[in-house]
Amino acid sequence: MIVVATDDFELYHDVVGELRDRDVRFTTIESGTDPPPGTQVIIRTPADTVSLPPDAESVVVAGSEARRAVESAVSILRGGDDGRTIVGVDPGSNPGIAILVGDEVISAFQVPLSEAVETIKSELTDIDDPDPIVRIGDGARLQGAQLVNDLEDVVVEIVDEAGTTPYLGAGARGMGDVLAAINIARRSGEITETRTLEPTAGEIQRIKDRSRQMAPENRTIDAELARRVAVGELTLGEALSVHRGDE
């Protein structure tokens, strides 16, 4: 059981709200009060005084870090990631997605970016876990940002994906993104709620270059269409169709 033991009213309010949102069993006590039997994790500030029972752990937190404190407490309660549902995502135009419970891979997908969020939500709906986490690689910035911004009511971490794609031997072609997603799921990252979607000039130019290579008539889409492709409003094929219609 988690015990909230603080006289900091703002922290108390925020932590209790986070715990209730996750449907996690907890109780509260005043600073200086002995925690009840069954206490496994205590959330407090540096100013709070509390006796730590044997085998219990303490999460010390500042008032502005309630969500991170609850994440740490729940992770301790579950013994780290053991038994927790974790979704790993290797972002891109066709992201690799892997769903793990503990260390066991229970399902994997590779779908168009436009279907990724719905795929993740559908899988999490079918799993009885009140506190799943989605870990997204940091390699494809724009596609990853779109996923972060579209995933609501779930904790999202951005993970350093360097080295997550393994060597692919004979017969394994096409599996790289899914295998990378599995490795991403097994790495902790930084909790992220929103990311900027505005593409850089270089990203826009790369999309324009790809449009010229893709178009049979060697045409290049304009910067505004390229920006819409970058933020996920259009596919490159759709942008080329719009461009043809403009002429």
pLDDT, position 231: 78
Q: What is the pLDDT of residue 70?
A: 82
- pTM (predicted TM-score): 0.60
pLDDT in the model for residue 171? 82
Q: Residues 174-212: pLDDT tens digits?
A: 899 999 999 999 998 888 888 877 888 888 999 999 888
pLDDT of residue 45: 87
Contact (CB, 8 A) for 240 and 210? no
Confidence of residue 101 (pLDDT cuts 50, 70, 90): confident
Instruction: With residue 204 as reference, give the H or E element that holds it.
Output: helix 201-214
What pLDDT, on a 0 to 100 scale, did the predictor assign at position 59? 85
Percent with pLDDT over 90 in the chain: 29
Task: Please give the Cα distance from 213 to 186 (Å, whole number).
Answer: 37
pLDDT at 75 over 80: no
Q: What percent of the chain has pLDDT over 70?
A: 95
* Range 126-133 average pLDDT: 78
Burial class from Cβ neighbours inside 10 Å (0-12, 13-18, 19+) for residue 179 reads buried
Average pLDDT, integer, range 55-67: 79
Here the tokens at position 6 are 């603080």
Do residues 138 and 148 touch, judged by C-beta distance below 8 A?
no
DSSP structure class, residue 109: E
Q: Which residues contact 95 (CB under 8 A, 6 or more apart)?
A: 89, 110, 111, 113, 116, 143, 147, 177, 181
Q: In what order do the strands lie in the sheet with 133-137?
A: 104-110, 96-101, 85-90, 133-137, 155-159, 190-191
DSSP tally for the chain: helices H, then strands E:
8, 10
- Residue 129, pLDDT > 90, answer no
| Residues 57, 240: Cα–Cα separation, whole Å | 57
